[in-house]
Amino acid sequence: MHTHQPTGNAARELVQRMGEAANNFLAALSTDQRAKAQLDFADELERTAWHYFPILRKGLPLGEMDRPQERLAQRLLATGLSREGWVTTTTIMGLERTLDGIEGWTAMPDWWRDANFYFVTIFGQPDGKQPWGWRFDGHHVCLNYTIVDGQIVAPTPTFFGSNPADSDLLGKYSIRPLAGIEDLARQLIHDLSAEQRAIAMLSPKAPNDIVTLNRPYTVDKSIPAPMDGVDDPPSVRAQYPAIERAMATQGLTLADFAPLRYTEQAKGIAVTSMNNAQREILMALIGDYIKRMPEELAAIEMGKLEAQGLDNLHFAWAGGLERRQPHYYRIQAPRFLVEYDNTQNGANHIHSVWRDPLDDFGANLIAQHYASSDHH
């Protein structure tokens, strides 16, 4: 299996910035805070746990930091994002206060809608000698970075959501932190011919959530609900009640998920069946996911996708074609997966994830590192 390894001064400097920011953050913490913030890299169950619901998780929340510590946490977060990605992230976090007001300040427990309820976790020692990583997660934001041999960065899974997805401002304006990934995908599905659209369309019903959920690694034949024969980890089981409520609210049954299952064999229309204009829209859409990363990393990730062959890409859709109609789409290649759904709260609540089906959390890179080292 080909594994891309970031090279060049820019990539090494990015990893160095991450390490310095992580170390500066840890150095500013008390002993008790550090015990929460820094966990063992070998704790794979926790290291591969990720969430996008507002639930308690391990790590140190922003709300338990003083202002200087929080600024150091934000500096670490910023090393993992482009300027545009940073603005998107902080806007999503700020919308927690908007959502709290929309819900009449009745969310229980009250920290469910708290812009300070985002957690920072460092796995291992950020010294470049052994694999280490860091996670920033909370409601609708989850960043995961894995760093090996001081130079290999695995940035997936990466999750961004928004509720509300569209918030009115005065006049004709609104806040839409994920506007690009909604509008470009809709532009593409509308640009397809009737024959192309029939291939791309998986189902007239959109799923209640991203189909792979927050499982640590992609599971073939996944559905956005508990699966027979799959023993989900606690991080996934914790979401079952909300998943079941969403299914009931949207009138979905397990039978509705049959055409929507995630499979290793990509579904939908192949990019080779698109014209040049359609391919350009698809690549712009993919760019909106990848370019949330720092410029150095975005260039590497786009290069990886191109090296693996853009002709492997497929685009699939489910649900309605217009705004505020529940809808879902998927972009898939062997080493690239994007899922997006907008079905809840009157189709004004977006979930989106970017994954590497074969190497989330740098699984292959870590195995190669230990196989080539004296570590046992």
Residue-wise pLDDT for 137-151, tens only, equals: 999 999 999 999 887
Question: Among the ranges 8-17, 110-119, 260-269, 363-372, which has the highest mean pLDDT value?
Answer: 260-269
Could you tell me the pLDDT band of residue 376, with boundaries at 50, 70 and 90? Answer: very low
Region 178-199 average pLDDT:
98
8 A C-beta contact, residue 22 and residue 38:
no
Query: What are the pLDDT digits (tens) for 193-210?
Result: 999 999 999 999 999 999
Q: What percent of the chain has pLDDT over 70?
A: 95
User: Region 310-332: what's the mean pLDDT?
Assistant: 98
Query: What predicted TM-score, i.e. pTM, was given to this entire model?
Result: 0.94
Every domain of the chain and the residues it spans: 9-156, 177-358
In 3D space, the residue among 324, 346, 107, 348 whose CA is nearest the CA of residue 250 turns out to be 346
User: How much is the average pLDDT of 304-314?
Assistant: 96
Residue 373 has pLDDT above 80, yes or no: no
Separation CA 9–CA 165 (nearest Å): 38
5 band by pLDDT with thresholds 50, 70 and 90: very low
pLDDT at 8 > cutoff 80: no
Q: Torsion over CA of 357, 312, 260 and 185, rounded to 10 degrees? A: 100
Q: Is the pLDDT of residue 1 over 90?
A: no
What's the pLDDT at 3?
Answer: 40
Phi, psi of 122 (to 5 degrees): -110, 130
Share the mean pLDDT of the chain. 94
pLDDT bucket at 370, cuts 50 / 70 / 90: low
